[in-house]
């Protein structure tokens, strides 16, 4: 998409910033809603007996209809699922449209470093709830990555990227066929070496595997599989060559089960949601760093109670007279002195 703020796309989406090559923020002028546009290049198909322009138009129409079909099936109104609003073709690009509340992606959050296991568990519990809703509607997400997760201003996570993932998979099939080497090569170009996008199997079990990869990434800042390139990544996933999940701390056992090669042994999205809820229920209270800092600043330089004398051997001697006995001893001493005084008077008088 060319141009900048103020440009109108598809006759309704007004750009609010200068777009990146395949991404733009905009406002839907019909609803006033903030949206995110994601683009996908559409190389023309040379179909026998058809003009190249006709082939490209037919391809674009098929892709738009496939994306729209998924968007119409997806649950609406779920608090942790970003709504896909449709797709259109413009400037030889297929654009998907998704609602975009204020916030930043999990990928942007990770720029500041890995998250604590309990913060990662909070985000993952939200995502598991969104996946449960999708799976219940008979859909697979297939695009669960740090880029497709929005962390809202209130700290909650929302899952997006559904329509963008559908568009990528549909284009890979259009250009590479239903399977085989050609589709793999096209898909590798579209998706790249992102571990979450390369499960051994599809369907809900594949989404749960991707959630396990994402959890590992959130806690450690890296993928459990090597991401130097697609062939290396795919081979490592196939061979089960990855970093052990023990590095995820209290999330380690769950991540280990999510990354099982056998999909039947992985927990479902609902299982994950319940397990994370139990983990968070027993989470330690977060440290109030500001309160701790104030306590350190107010701490007196010298102790309020005098230190005990150290003995030659390095130990400490207790006081010879306990403080609780000082009062009675002083009173007794006064009576003794009075008695001695009276005795002296009698003696000299006599």
Between 327 and 317, the more confident residue is 327
CA distance 274 to 290: 32
Q: Which of 157-166, 168-177, 200-209, 337-346 has the lowest mean pLDDT?
A: 337-346
Among 56, 326, 22, 310, smallest CA distance to 174 is for 56
pLDDT confidence tier of residue 55, bands split at 50, 70 and 90:
low
Tokens of 103: 């916030």
Other CB atoms closer than 10 Å to residue 133's CB: what's the count? 20
What does the pLDDT look like over 288-323, one tens digit per residue? 444 434 444 444 433 433 334 333 344 444 445 555
Question: What is the average pLDDT across 17-30?
Answer: 90
Give the model's pLDDT for residue 336: 60
Q: Do the beta carbons of residue 247 and residue 106 sit within 8 Å?
A: no
The neighbouring-strand residues paired with 159 are 81, 149
Per cent of the chain over pLDDT 90 is 68
pLDDT confidence tier of residue 324, bands split at 50, 70 and 90:
low
CA distance 137 to 159: 15
Between 47 and 149, the more confident residue is 149
Superfamily of domain 8-283: Transferase(Phosphotransferase) domain 1 (1.10.510.10)
3-state secondary structure the chain: CCCCCCCEECCCEEECCCCECCEEEEEECCCCCEEEEEEEECCCCCCCCCCHHHHHHHHHHHHHHHHHHHHHHCCCCCCCECCEEEEEEECCEEEEEEECCCEEEHHHHHCCCCCCHHHHHHHHHHHHHHHHHHHHCCCCCCCCCHHHEEEECCCCEEECCHHHHHHHHHHHHHHHCCCCHHHHHHHHHHHCCCHHHCCCCCHHHHHHHHHHHHHHHHHHCCCCCCCCCHHHHHHHHHHCCCCCHHHHHHHHHHHHHHCCCCHHHCCCHHHHHHHHHHHHHCCCCCCCHHHHHHHHHHCCCCCCCCCCCECCCCCECCCCCCHHHHHHHHHHHHHHHHHHHHHHHHHHHC
Number of Cα atoms under 13 Å in the Cβ half of residue 136 = 11
CA distance 43 to 14: 26
Instruction: Write down the mean pLDDT value for the chain.
Output: 85
CA distance 118 to 139: 28
Taking the complete model, does pTM exceed 0.75, yes or no?
yes
For residue 106, is pLDDT > 70? yes
Question: What is the average pLDDT across 152-166?
Answer: 97
Tokens of 348: 């000299």
Among 139, 121, 81, 282, smallest CA distance to 212 is for 121
Give the model's pLDDT for residue 201: 95
Question: What is the average pLDDT across 106-120?
Answer: 97
Buried/exposed code over 155-189 (b: 16+ C-beta within 10 A; e: otherwise): ebbbbbbbbbbbbbbbbbbbbbeeeeeebeebbbe
CA distance 273 to 6: 42
Q: Do the beta carbons of residue 59 and residue 174 sit within 8 Å?
A: yes
Give the model's pLDDT for residue 311: 39
Question: What is the average pLDDT across 242-249?
Answer: 97
Buried/exposed code over 297-325 (b: 16+ C-beta within 10 A; e: otherwise): eeeeeeeeeeeeeeeeeeeeeeeeeeeee
């Amino acid at each position: 998409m060319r141009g900048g703020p103020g440009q109108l796309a598809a006759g309704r989406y007004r750009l609010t910033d200068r777009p990146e090559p395949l991404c733009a923020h905009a406002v839907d002028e019909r609803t006033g809603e903030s949206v995110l546009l994601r683009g996908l290049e559409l190389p023309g198909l040379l179909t026998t007996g058809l003009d190249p322009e006709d082939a490209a138009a037919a391809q674009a129409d098929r892709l738009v209809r496939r994306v729209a079909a998924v968007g119409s099936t997806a649950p609406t109104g779920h608090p942790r699922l970003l709504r896909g609003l449709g797709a259109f073709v413009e400037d030889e690009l297929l654009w998907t449209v998704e609602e975009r509340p204020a916030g930043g992606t999990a990928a942007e959050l990770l720029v500041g470093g890995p998250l604590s296991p309990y913060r990662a568990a909070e985000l993952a519990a939200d995502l598991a709830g969104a996946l449960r809703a999708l799976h219940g509607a008979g859909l697979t997400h297939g695009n669960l990555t740090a880029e497709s997760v929005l962390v809202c201003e209130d700290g909650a996570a929302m899952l997006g990227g559904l329509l963008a993932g559908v568009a990528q998979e549909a284009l890979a099939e259009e250009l590479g066929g239903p399977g085989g080497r050609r589709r793999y090569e096209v898909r590798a170009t579209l998706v790249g070496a992102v571990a979450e996008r390369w499960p051994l199997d599809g369907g809900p079990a594949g989404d749960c595997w991707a959630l396990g990869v994402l959890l590992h990434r959130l806690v450690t800042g890296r993928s459990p599989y090597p991401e130097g390139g697609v062939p290396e990544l795919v081979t490592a996933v196939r061979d089960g060559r990855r970093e052990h999940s023990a590095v995820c701390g209290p999330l380690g056992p769950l991540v280990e089960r999510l990354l099982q090669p056998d999909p039947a042994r992985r927990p479902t999205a609902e299982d994950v949601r319940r397990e994370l809820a139990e983990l968070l229920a027993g989470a330690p209270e977060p440290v109030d760093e500001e309160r701790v800092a104030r306590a350190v600043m107010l701490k007196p330089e010298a102790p309020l109670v005098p230190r005990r004398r150290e003995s030659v051997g390095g130990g400490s001697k207790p006081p010879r007279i306990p403080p609780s006995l000082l009062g009675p001893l002083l009173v007794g001493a006064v009576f003794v002195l009075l008695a001695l005084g009276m005795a002296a008077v009698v003696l000299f008088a006599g």
